[in-house]
Amino acid sequence: MGMVSDNSYHGCLKDMYGLHRFGIKLGLSTIRQILSGLGNPQNAYACVHVAGTNGKGSVASSLASILNQAGYKTGLYTSPHLVHFNERIQVNNRPISNKSVVTSYNTIKKAHHGDRGPTFFEFATAMALVEFARQRVDWAVIETGMGGRLDATNIVQPQLSIITNISLEHREYLGNTLEQISGEKAGIIKKRTPVITGIRQKKALAVVEKIAAEKSASLLRLGKEFKVRRSPCGTFSYRGVEAVWRNLKTGLLGNHQVDNAALVLAACEMLQKRGVILSLDNIQAGLLNNRWPGRLEIVSDEPRIILDGAHNFIAARNLARFLSANFSRRNITMVIGILDDKPYNAMLKCLLPTANRVILTRAKINRALEPEKLEALAKRMVPQVTTIPDVKQALEYAIETASPKDVICVAGSLYVVGEAKEALDKGFQVQGSKVKDR
């Protein structure tokens, strides 16, 4: 790739990151204006829209993996990225090229934006929707950024909507109760378009049921219309509306990924009903081969290094369960940094008891909590607490002071995991071990 394009790639990203100063503005008028000026490219392909508090990235990537396995050209739009912006916009499981980033950036830059300039997320979403049309994908799986009803991604007219689950998050934008948040997420439900959900809380589910009924959208609920059963050997079976599929396995670690997979399988069943050709082989292979970076991702064996975003209470609880189930006899070092809008007390109470020592750090993003804020609480739970604000240095220190049998877990925020991943990719070697490239 020549210098010119590389410079313009970095120039585009610099301009886009500059948009962060406009913050988060929920609403569809800006993106509607941009896309209508470009002939509504988002209507050129079929979509599945995914919302929820946890697991939406895993669900979206698994479904994209299955569609791709079945021979459909498939776009996947997710956020945030871990290392490179391009990860947000993928075609056939591969991030788009720098050249494609520049092309789609320029298309959006030239479009008419209406009364206000787009936020970073609106700009990125418009780029993805334009790029998928340009690359002529058959299907696009689109993950919401925040909420649903007023999220920029809600401009799409999907064949199917998925709401993974609900817990309290982003209260200043989405509301203070599960019902309010549920109402925001259920804003992605469209008229007569099936919706699949993993929500279990009665009040939150009631909101989704009501909105689905108002929109004449058929609703499939995990544990009601479709179920999964785990078997002791690590496989699981799925029983849906009509389909019964056995001996399934997901490529993603953690018991909670079976529930995520259930939503994906219900989606496959609904898509089959709509004439999408997905064989059981495609489904099995797509689930098994899917990788979702930074979610219980093992990147080294000696010491065992695990990267997990675990960026809210439910995700922290899932990680704590995984560590307790698999590594209770090994020394665990927790390298952790948390953003300021997260319930850090509850997250630390969940995660720190699994560790022998803790290294507190912070991501470079301005929303990161100062590690000193976590120190007093951490010291009450773990005898050995160190503060190293720079993520790369924190990880280097963890590796240098670990024995080959130890486990190092980087968690608390996808931004922290992203910085750790970048440091590992740039390759400081783990002594006596090659960091696995997955």
**Cα separation, 167 vs 184, whole angstroms:** 12
**Cα separation, 307 vs 298, whole angstroms:** 6
- Whether 255 and 322 have beta carbons less than 8 Å apart is answered as yes
DSSP β-ladder status, 46-51 and 139-143:
parallel
Cis peptide, bond prior to residue 303, ω within 30 of zero: yes
- Whether 222 and 262 have beta carbons less than 8 Å apart is answered as yes
**Cα separation, 134 vs 101, whole angstroms:** 12
**Cα separation, 61 vs 378, whole angstroms:** 34
Task: Pick out the chain residues at pLDDT < 50.
Answer: 1-4, 431-438
Please give the model's pTM, rounded to 2 decimal places: 0.92
Tokens 């910085």 belong to which residue?
A: 419
Output the pLDDT for position 2: 42
Output the pLDDT for position 431: 46
93 CB-near residues (< 8 Å, 6+ apart): 64, 65, 68, 74, 76
**Cα separation, 434 vs 340, whole angstroms:** 34
3-class DSSP assignment, residue 248: strand
**Cα separation, 36 vs 156, whole angstroms:** 12
Q: Tell which residue, 369, 257, 393, 355, has the closest CA to residue 311.
A: 369
Q: Is 237 exposed, middle or buried (0-12, 13-18, 19+ CB in 10 A)?
A: middle
**Cα separation, 59 vs 263, whole angstroms:** 7
**Cα separation, 395 vs 337, whole angstroms:** 12
**Cα separation, 276 vs 258, whole angstroms:** 23
Longest dimension (CA), the chain: 61
Amino acid, single-letter form, for residue 342: K
**Cα separation, 326 vs 48, whole angstroms:** 34
191 — phi, psi (to 5°)?
Answer: -55, 130
Amino acid, single-letter form, for residue 121: F
**Cα separation, 13 vs 336, whole angstroms:** 27
Output the pLDDT for position 429: 52
Q: Would you say the C-alpha torsion 363, 369, 370, 374 has a positive or negative sign? A: negative
429 CB-near residues (< 8 Å, 6+ apart): 435
**Cα separation, 32 vs 337, whole angstroms:** 36
- Whether 269 and 373 have beta carbons less than 8 Å apart is answered as no
Delineate the domains of the chain, giving CATH numbers in brackets.
3-289 (3.40.1190.10), 297-425 (3.90.190.20)
Q: How far is CA 39 from CA 35, 36, 43, 236, in A?
A: 6, 5, 9, 44
Output the pLDDT for position 172: 67
3-class DSSP assignment, residue 19: helix
Q: Tell which residue, 284, 223, 218, has the closest CA to residue 251.
A: 284
Output the pLDDT for position 147: 87
Q: How far is CA 63 from CA 92, 111, 138, 394, in A?
A: 11, 31, 13, 35
- Whether 159 and 141 have beta carbons less than 8 Å apart is answered as no
Backbone angle region of 342, left / alpha / beta, with phi > 0 → left and psi within -120 to 50 → alpha: beta
Output the pLDDT for position 432: 44
275 CB-near residues (< 8 Å, 6+ apart): none
